[in-house]
Amino acid sequence: MFRKKAILFLSIVIVLFSFMTYQSRKGYSLMDNPASFLLSGASSAITSVLDALKRPFQMIAIRDEDNRSLQKRVDELMLERMKYQEALLENRRLKELLKLKDSHKETVAAARIIGRGTSHWTHTFILDKGLQDGITKDSTAITPKGLAGKIFNVSDSYSSVLLLTDINFAAAVRLQESRKEGILAGTGTGKTILKYMPPEHEVKEGDIVVTSGLDLLFPSGIPAGYVSKVNRQGAGQFQYIEVIPFADNTGIEEVLIIK
């Protein structure tokens, strides 16, 4: 009831205001032309009410447009931030690779990984460099963390790396501290095994494994991994030794190829 009275009162005020405005503009009174006044007042009242009703919707439309513009700008800034972070990480990796290159005079080329092997047991990379860049079969692939693998296939513009975790990989290695020698072999999983280590040779978890160079394939002294498990009662007359590679295959994006 109160709401109805308020609306009625507001309508009367609008009509009276329209009347005074109309009289002031035209210079004559209500009695001169009552019908015209009533029609004009009613029209003005309706227009005012409609304008008042439309205004909130107009404000909502403006707000929605502003929100869309702001969201678009936020998305653009997020994309720019991600691009910047990616460029920063790439720059950091390339700096580490450059330091590695400076420490290896026999460097052939730095290469980017553009493809990966899809087989569960075959662990390989495809590189964007090949024969025309000086890469040859059996060249060594390394990262700032250590040995990655060796080149097993090469064409003019591309080459393929057999990773040390591949089941077909093998390299002559030694324990860095004790200098005991063995063969590091891939298993087709994320680890490798150190073969041909007699039980009398002490091996402990955490021991560092490096290339020995005795196979005439890999330069000596390249870090390969660390011992993660030792079982002196391995199959046959040798210990069972697991080695975790320093170079994480899933995180490698660039490698250095050396002779």
Q: Please report, for the chain, the start and end positions of each structural domain, with discontinuous segments joined by +.
A: 1-103, 108-258
E strand or H helix at 21: helix 2-26
Tokens for 95?
């700096």
* Torsion over CA: 220, 222, 224, 228 (sign): positive
Query: pLDDT class for 139, splitting at 50, 70, 90?
Result: very high
Q: What is the CA 233 to chain-centroid distance, rounded?
A: 44
CB 256 within 8 A of CB 110: yes
In this prediction the pTM is 0.64
Note the CATH number of domain 108-258: 2.40.10.340
- The torsion angles phi and psi of 44, rounded to 5 degrees, stand at -65, -40
The per-residue pLDDT for range 203-214, each reduced to its tens digit, is 999 999 999 999
Residue in the block written with tokens 């077909």? 168
Query: pLDDT class for 180, splitting at 50, 70, 90?
Result: very high
**Type of residue at 95:** K
